[in-house]
Chains A and B, each alone.
Chain A
Amino acid sequence: MPTQKTIAATGNTVVAEAMRQCAPDMMAAYPITPQTTIVEEFAGFVAKGRVHTEYITVESEHSAMSACVGASAAGARVMTATSSQGLALMWEELHIASGMRLPIVMANANRALSAPINIHCDHSDIMGARDTGWITLFAETAQEAYDNTIMAIRIAEHPDVLLPTMSCLDGFITTHSIDRVCIMDDESVAGFVGEYTPQNALLDIENPVTHGSFAGLGGPFFEFKKSQRMAIERSRAVINEVGAEFSELSGRPFGMVETWGMEDADVAVVVIGSTAGNVRHVARRMRESGIKAGVVKIRCFRPFPYAELAEALSGVKAVAVMDRAESFGAEGGPLFLEVRSALYDAAERVPVINYIYGLGGSDVRLELIETVLNDLSEIAVGAQAPTGLVYLGSR
């Protein structure tokens, strides 16, 4: 069993620590609030010789991800981190990384996208990149950010998967708040992630290969996209296996979907990221006044755990889906669309209400979450559900 020590640290500090323990061969990164301290602390590890990583400073995130793609194709284990506008600037390389099947692991500090200018938390950045073919894990706490980052290496590099993987944590709330985190010893993490054996490494001069080929008009482009779909479908089993093995090692649970109070819940809230803790807190309080509330937290957004979610929600009378991102003009936020789709085949159709909350870091007070659960408990016994989405707490 690993030796674990409990420390007080920010989410960014423990993500940098997890990266050091995973010992990537190469990192190319560009600083952006609120990701900055991840790459700053990692650069410190490199400077002090605490990790033997080729650290490449670049002039933009477009270059950062381009350099990561090149290094990964060369055969290196590659990690990086970004946020918001940075992730948006990487957009074309995000598709290239997944299309070339390069198991790059990136931390993303979730932050709003301009305009107006805002540096605080919401999920617009990652939800904009949800269709780029990256496996996407979400953390509620600094602990989960640490754990997800380590698991991401094993998931991405698994021979059945070979897809880039993102480990998301909420900007400022998780990246900058000091939290209680259990850190494993270096040897245990090294043993868990193992050595990376690249396939088709450009630097393997005994077996020369060509990367970046053309598959246009009449070529097999369509077939390559299908093979990406097949790989991300295979990743479901791998994510669960790696999660189970990590749980065994760390003593901490992992599920693509994690539930609280769902055994006998009448009403449920589906949520991603740091707000899950607040929702659980309110749900616990509401249970004292007789409302049987449950919470479903999504820890893996891509691949989306449809079956697990439908099972977790079976038997409830009303569901609230909390979206920290917009999908302007759609029927609801990105998570709402997934959840309602997951429930389409359910035997009984229950009301699903979409709450957009916390955009640009706007405060999600406990009273606001209380109104969600109060609404739900009334809808569960026949009150009219609101038509359209609800901007939670907006003026």
Chain B
Amino acid sequence: MSKWDISGLNEWKSDEFPLGAVIPESGNSRDYVTGGWRSQRPERNDATCTQCLICWIMCPDSAVNTEDEKVTTFNLRHCKGCGVCANQCPVDAITMVPEGCDLPEVK
């Protein structure tokens, strides 16, 4: 399916929008970057992680990246920092770190 073209959105008249505010495609939340809402980010300790994939199942934003059925990184363009993954991890391998001044890249 081709992408829904909304390039002229700001000029559309009332009768040009889809009926009832429907979005005529699925899965376009990929295009909506929500990472900027985050005040904390998840950090995973690879040494203690058992790769049970519970965080991947539970993340409400599908922001846990995997490769070959193993958790790799977090998709920080979409992770909202809700902490569900850290809370659900059975071995406490995920720590929520304040976003901003305490991060190594800021220091």
Assuming the contacts A99-B20, A101-B19, A101-B20, asked whether A210 and B28 have C-beta atoms less than 8 A apart, the reply is yes
Least Cβ–Cβ distance between A392 and chain B, in angstroms: 42
Assuming the contacts A220-B12, A223-B13, A227-B14, asked whether A162 and B19 have C-beta atoms less than 8 A apart, the reply is yes
Docked complex: A99-119 residues within 8 A CB-CB of B: 99-102
Asked whether A344 is an interface residue with its Cβ less than 8 Å from the other chain, the reply is: no
Number of A-B contacts (CB under 8 A): 55
B27's nearest neighbour on chain A, judged by CB, is A208
Chain B residues with Cβ under 8 A from A48's Cβ? none
A225's nearest neighbour on chain B, judged by CB, is B14
Interface flags, B68-85, vs A, CB<8A=1, else 0: 000000000000000000
Asked whether B57 is an interface residue with its Cβ less than 8 Å from the other chain, the reply is: no
Q: How far is the CA of A248 from the CA of B27 in the complex (A)?
A: 48
Does A100 lie within 8 Å of B23, measured CB to CB? no
Does B25 lie within 8 Å of A209, measured CB to CB? yes
Docked complex: B1-39 residues within 8 A CB-CB of A: 1, 9, 12-15, 17-28
Does A230 lie within 8 Å of B14, measured CB to CB? yes
Q: How many positions in chain A have a CB within 8 Å of any CB in the partner chain? A: 21
Does A208 lie within 8 Å of B22, measured CB to CB? no
* Residue of B17, B20, B24, B27 with highest tally of chain A CB at under 10 A: B20
* Residue of A199, A210, A223, A224 with highest tally of chain B CB at under 10 A: A210
Least Cβ–Cβ distance between A132 and chain B, in angstroms: 15
Asked whether A200 is an interface residue with its Cβ less than 8 Å from the other chain, the reply is: yes
Does B22 lie within 8 Å of A227, measured CB to CB? no
- Interface SS of B by simple majority: loop
Does B17 lie within 8 Å of A224, measured CB to CB? yes
Least Cβ–Cβ distance between A133 and chain B, in angstroms: 11
Does A100 lie within 8 Å of B21, measured CB to CB? yes
Q: How far is the CA of A307 from the CA of B42 in the complex (A)?
A: 63
Chain A residues with Cβ under 8 A from B25's Cβ? 208-210
Q: How many positions in chain B have a CB within 8 Å of any CB in the partner chain? A: 18
Asked whether A8 is an interface residue with its Cβ less than 8 Å from the other chain, the reply is: no
Chain B residues with Cβ under 8 A from A101's Cβ? 19-20
Does B12 lie within 8 Å of A210, measured CB to CB? no
Does B22 lie within 8 Å of A200, measured CB to CB? yes
Does B17 lie within 8 Å of A220, measured CB to CB? yes
Does A223 lie within 8 Å of B12, measured CB to CB? yes
Assuming the contacts A220-B9, A220-B12, asked whether A210 and B23 have C-beta atoms less than 8 A apart, the reply is yes
- Interface SS of A by simple majority: loop
Q: How far is the CA of A200 from the CA of B15 in the complex (A)?
A: 16
- Which residue of A102, A199, A212, A227 contacts B17 across the interface (Cβ within 8 Å)? A227
Does B20 lie within 8 Å of A223, measured CB to CB? no
Q: How far is the CA of A211 from the CA of B21 in the complex (A)?
A: 7
Chain B residues with Cβ under 8 A from A384's Cβ? none
Interface flags, B23-65, vs A, CB<8A=1, else 0: 1111110000000000000000000000000000000000000
Asked whether A203 is an interface residue with its Cβ less than 8 Å from the other chain, the reply is: no
Asked whether A5 is an interface residue with its Cβ less than 8 Å from the other chain, the reply is: no
Q: How far is the CA of A6 from the CA of B21 in the complex (A)?
A: 45
Asked whether A249 is an interface residue with its Cβ less than 8 Å from the other chain, the reply is: no
Q: How far is the CA of A99 from the CA of B19 in the complex (A)?
A: 9
B19's nearest neighbour on chain A, judged by CB, is A101
Asked whether A213 is an interface residue with its Cβ less than 8 Å from the other chain, the reply is: yes
Interface flags, A209-238, vs B, CB<8A=1, else 0: 111110100001001101100100000000
Does B20 lie within 8 Å of A200, measured CB to CB? yes
Chain B residues with Cβ under 8 A from A227's Cβ? 14-15, 17
Chain A residues with Cβ under 8 A from B14's Cβ? 223-224, 226-227, 230
Q: How far is the CA of A265 from the CA of B9 in the complex (A)?
A: 54
Q: How far is the CA of A21 from the CA of B22 in the complex (A)?
A: 30
Does A99 lie within 8 Å of B21, measured CB to CB? yes
Q: How far is the CA of A101 from the CA of B21 in the complex (A)?
A: 9
A200's nearest neighbour on chain B, judged by CB, is B22
Chain A residues with Cβ under 8 A from B24's Cβ? 200, 207, 209
Does B15 lie within 8 Å of A230, measured CB to CB? yes
Given A200-B18, A200-B24, A220-B17; 8 other pairs, CB 8 A cutoff:
A101-B20, A162-B19, A200-B19, A209-B22, A209-B26, A223-B17, A227-B14, A230-B14
Give 9 nearest A-B pairs by CB, closest first: A101-B20, A208-B26, A210-B23, A226-B14, A100-B20, A227-B14, A223-B14, A200-B22, A213-B21
Chain A residues at the B interface, C-beta cutoff of 8 Å:
99-102, 162, 199-200, 207-213, 215, 220, 223-224, 226-227, 230
Contact sample, A vs B, 11 pairs, CB 8 Å cutoff = A101-B19, A200-B20, A200-B24, A209-B24, A209-B25, A210-B23, A211-B20, A213-B22, A220-B17, A223-B12, A227-B15
